[in-house]
Amino acid sequence: MGESLGDTLTTATNTWTVTAANIDHVTTQSVQGGLFAANDGVQVIDMGGTPGAGVVETSFPTVPGRTYELDFFYAQNDVASDTPACRVRILGSGGGVLLEDLVTHTISYQTYLRFTDTFVADSTTTRLEFQSQNTGIGGVALDSISITDLAPAAVPILSGPIALFILFGGLAATGYVAVSRGGTAAGGL
Condensed to tens digits (0 to 9), the pLDDT of residues 94-151 reads 889 999 999 988 776 678 899 999 999 999 999 999 998 887 777 888 888 899 999 7
Average pLDDT of the chain is: 73
Distance CA 60, CA 67 (A): 14
Q: Per-residue pLDDT averaged across 43-48, rounded?
A: 79
Q: Is 70 exceeded by the pLDDT of residue 170? A: no
Residues 6+ apart with CB under 8 A from 163: none
CA 90 to chain centre: 9
The pLDDT value recorded for residue 152 is: 63
pLDDT computed for residue 99 by the predictor: 96
Average pLDDT over residues 174-182: 36
Measured CA to CA, the distance from residue 18 to residue 7 in angstroms comes to 6
**Among 79, 24, 85, CA closest to 49:** 24
- 74 vs 18: CA distance, rounded Å: 18
Residue-wise pLDDT for 132-143, tens only, equals 888 777 788 888
DSSP E strands, the chain: 2-4, 8-10, 15-20, 22-27, 43-46, 48-49, 52-53, 55-61, 67-76, 85-91, 97-104, 113-120, 125-132, 140-151
In sequence order, the β-bridge partners of residue 179 are none
